A = this chain, B = another copy of it.
């Protein structure tokens, strides 16, 4: 097995050179961001964790997939704020028994995901642990941050991307299927950076769907002080309906990890998928029932 420093040297090669705004990447005490090269009034900053046995089972994914998903899950928070990434740091914790090739496969997945959203991994940390655990932090540049607060009574609720498809894909994968759009949606989600910038420019409030539409729309409802009424027909996409006829609505409301964006806008623009509206009250409702509070809770007993 390679030493910690040999591993860092190899990761440095896999992660490639830093982007223009990062004047110093991997190999010192910290990465350096050159503010004179950053054209933005605000930076947004997030951290997300991806833990073996909690967020993924290695039996359902390649190590490349694990690396890819961990990066995209974190990057989706930037999309949700209408920011474009300036770089990522990745803290990789792994058992001493994880083979060098598996570690490098994780890193290849992270690097490919970063490249897919036009950024790069510019630093990180390597540590032992009893399970694989990836903590990813990203900084994004932002002109007009889109928060969860700001939706008003009368606003329309719009969806960018699919909901429920990744959850359906995970079910297919567990049943032994390994191909198709739904499986790909779960295995290789893509943070909707460009869409977040476009939608954020006109959104009154926005968030990404990581824990399920009902719960995540609930964050907008709570932060904005409105009730969100969702249209059941509008949130179930044609593809989801085709592969999960029996419970497509439940998957669309409760399935997370598609990393779609949900936003409140005061008027819909052509091509927008309107899925509901903001009214007086609280919570998220669909078909006359309150549906928020049913998402994934890390500490529910």
List A residues at the B interface (Cβ < 8 Å).
Answer: 1-5, 7, 23-24, 27-36, 38, 40-49, 51, 53-55, 77-78, 80-81, 83, 87, 89-91, 93, 96, 122-131, 133, 135, 137, 139-140, 142, 145, 147-149, 207-208, 223, 297-301
Known: A32-B45, A49-B127, A129-B133. 20 other contacts (CB 8 A): A3-B297, A3-B299, A5-B297, A23-B42, A28-B81, A29-B80, A30-B44, A30-B140, A32-B147, A33-B42, A35-B35, A36-B41, A47-B91, A47-B123, A47-B124, A47-B137, A49-B125, A51-B93, A96-B299, A125-B135
From B38, B49, B148, A91 is in contact (CB under 8 Å) with B49
* Identity of the chain B residue whose Cβ is nearest the Cβ of A296 in the assembled complex: B4
Residues of B within 8 A of A28 (CB): 81, 147-149, 207, 223
Q: Could you list 5 examples of A-B contacts with CB < 8 Å?
A: A33-B42, A46-B123, A54-B128, A126-B298, A137-B137
Question: Within the complex, what minimum Cβ distance (angstroms) separates A274 from chain B?
Answer: 22
**Given the complex of chains A and B, what is the CA–CA distance between A78 and B297 in angstroms?**
34
